Amino acid sequence: MATRKKTPAKPASTAGRPYSSLVVDGLKQSASRAMLRAVGYTDKDFTKPSVGVASTWSNLTPCNMHIDKLAAAAAAGVDSSGGKSTTFGTITVSDGISMGSPGMRFSLVSREVIADSIETVTGAQGFDGVVAIGGCDKNIPGCMMALARLNRPAVFVYGGTIKPGANHTDVISVFEAVGQFANGTISAKQLKQVEKTAIPGPGSCGGMYTANSMASAIEALGMSLPNSSAQEAVSRNKLKDCREAGKAVVKLVKAGIKPSDILSRKAFENAITVVIALGGSTNAVLHLLAIAHEAGIKLELDDFTRIGLKVPVLADVRPSGKYLMSELIRIGGIQPLMKILLEAGLLHGGCMTVTGRTLAENLADVKPYPIDQSIIRPLDKPIKKDSHLVVLYGNLAPEGAVAKITGNEGLTFAGKARCFHGEEAALQAILAGVVQKGDVVVIRYEGPRGGPGMREMLSPTSAINGRGLAKDVALLTDGRFSGGSHGFVIGHVTPEAYDGGPIALIQDGDGITIDAANNKVTLDVSDDELARRKAAWVRPDPYTTRGLLSKYAKLVSSASRGAVTTD
């Protein structure tokens, strides 16, 4: 009697395995299974939900140097909950290291590379779910953009904040110390001491800069577990957060809950509200626009203005305030703040989150802040009664510009333009004492296309602050700002100079008026004169015609649309 040949059995059900079953099930996928056996898969693993753990580990920056351990914890959480984890890597670049150099042109570009790479690996390997772990400014939104595009069950994990440096310092202290040294207010020895002690170990920059702002925004979006944004990088809580994220994504796969069930318009409004209440980075505007674009949610600059009219700034945190993220963590993180906002009717409590519960359900048992804390102000005694993120329009920025006005700077500034083609020329002039009180420093050809890459102007703003000119000099650019920048600074000016926007037509000595109370930025030049200048304007040669930067410049959209590279 002939013996019937056995073929690899197909699992009885592919429920919870909508993508991986296409990769590992059936006779025709024998070669796929053979490859996976070599990396540790067993027969049982082929029947489990397959979860990719996207690690942004790199030892080139403190922000990400520990993420390999966090990725291992997330993978363990997946495996302990009936899933099968596979860890893969993506890139990161360090804003803090590349700041002020030509390398900073690759910073915002890296956001797109990260999103593309996570989408590529997940799509190719057929993961049913994803845990993405980000630590630095651009890999955080890059991870989220990928998760939104893929629309597979997913959890984002923040790598955590750095501990404070000696004498309550952080990375911004170093940048500002450079300006203080140039101004003669500290010695070379003191500068070296700040340099050596301000950054003590792993974790993202310690104030409410871009990393902590975006981590908080993502928690408010519902894409991170509660408290993920408010944990130190080197802590038991952060390792636990990673393990729980691994477990949570398996539950999401089995329940069929995807980012599209979470990333609603109301969820983005929650994220904007939390960023404003925390006094967060202007980069949050750019990144939330980009994430919403990938999620298919219509979000515009004017939404930040609309929401900002009713949301106060409550957190006394750096760069404009006093405290660091580690100190906010010690009083409970952002969960009690979110509960305050929810109870005041400023958050949408019905939004779904990665816990499988609504935002309101997650916050139900959250305890209030200690009575004696001074980091988060009461609603009736805010730092600023409305948003610090101010969207300005006018003949200088017809498509909008974004300012960070906390109130410490005042609400208006009028001065004379001092123009520079690029960051390096401006920084040299500031450090040399060329920039004086009453100047509006104009740094142009730093936009998404013209830079290319929309560099952050942290070095110039820190130099201005270090020289004691923060209240006497404004800075206006088609580039952007680090979350650590503060002072009278206006970025994201659109249209950018490279596209012939009005910022390209400013001349030294032109009057510029910034009116944050009425959301206006005005070049005090007649329409006829601007038309004459526009007719004579010639676009400068591109920074490069080869490689990634050239490709990015051809694809990237306006900053007012989030500087995205997808339609």
- DSSP code of residue 296: T
- Overall average pLDDT of the 394-416 stretch: 91
- Give the C-alpha distances (Å, rounded to integers) separating 16 from 47, 129, 241: 10, 9, 23
pLDDT at 6: 47
Half-sphere CA count of 97, side-chain side, radius 13 A: 11
Closest CA to 563 of 387, 402, 394: 402
Task: Indicate whether 8 pLDDT > 90.
Answer: no
pLDDT at 3: 45
Half-sphere CA count of 425, side-chain side, radius 13 A: 11
Task: Indicate whether 11 pLDDT > 60.
Answer: no
Task: Indicate whether 322 pLDDT > 70.
Answer: yes
128 alpha-carbon distance from chain centroid: 26
- Give the C-alpha distances (Å, rounded to integers) separating 496 from 207, 356, 446: 29, 42, 8
Measured between alpha carbons, how far is 46 from 388 in angstroms, rounded to an integer? 51
Predicted confidence band of residue 176 (pLDDT cuts 50, 70, 90): confident
Task: Indicate whether 454 pLDDT > 50.
Answer: yes
- Virtual CA dihedral for 215, 479, 542, 291, nearest 10 degrees? 30
Q: Terminal CA-to-CA distance of the chain, rounded, Å?
A: 62
Task: Indicate whether 483 pLDDT > 60.
Answer: yes
pLDDT (tens digit, 9 = 90+) per residue, 212-255? 999 999 999 999 999 999 999 999 999 999 999 999 999 999 99
Instruction: State the average pLDDT for the chain.
Output: 95
Measured between alpha carbons, how far is 38 from 443 in angstroms, rounded to an integer? 54
- Give the C-alpha distances (Å, rounded to integers) separating 510 from 165, 399, 487, 489, 506: 42, 21, 21, 18, 7
Question: How many CB atoms neighbour CB 207 within 10 A?
Answer: 31
Task: Indicate whether 10 pLDDT > 90.
Answer: no
Measured between alpha carbons, how far is 29 from 22 in angstroms, rounded to an integer? 8
- Overall average pLDDT of the 23-45 stretch: 97
What's this model's pTM, rounded to 2 decimal places?
Answer: 0.95
Predicted confidence band of residue 5 (pLDDT cuts 50, 70, 90): very low
Measured between alpha carbons, how far is 55 from 58 in angstroms, rounded to an integer? 9
What is the secondary structure of 40-69 as a DSSP string? T--TGGGGSPEEEEEE---TTSTTTTTHHH
Q: Which two tokens stand for residue 9?
A: 């059995």
Parallel, antiparallel or unpaired: strands 397-404 and 474-477? unpaired
Which residues on neighbouring strands pair with residue 404, listed in sequence order?
Answer: 389
Measured between alpha carbons, how far is 253 from 355 in angstroms, rounded to an integer? 12
More confidently predicted of 12 and 61: 61
Task: Indicate whether 553 pLDDT > 90.
Answer: yes
List, in order, residues 6 or more apart from 336 with CB less than 8 Å away: 366, 367, 368, 369, 376
Asked if 482 and 458 touch (Cβ cutoff 8 Å), the reply is yes
pLDDT at 13: 63
- Virtual CA dihedral for 313, 315, 317, 319, nearest 10 degrees? -10
List, in order, residues 6 or more apart from 256 with CB less than 8 Å away: 16, 153
Annotation marks residue 459 as catalytic: no
Asked if 111 and 256 touch (Cβ cutoff 8 Å), the reply is no
Poorest-pLDDT segment among 8-22, 137-151, 454-468: 8-22
Catalytic pick from 32, 216, 482, 485?
482
Half-sphere CA count of 456, side-chain side, radius 13 A: 29
Which residues on neighbouring strands pair with residue 403, listed in sequence order?
Answer: 390, 490
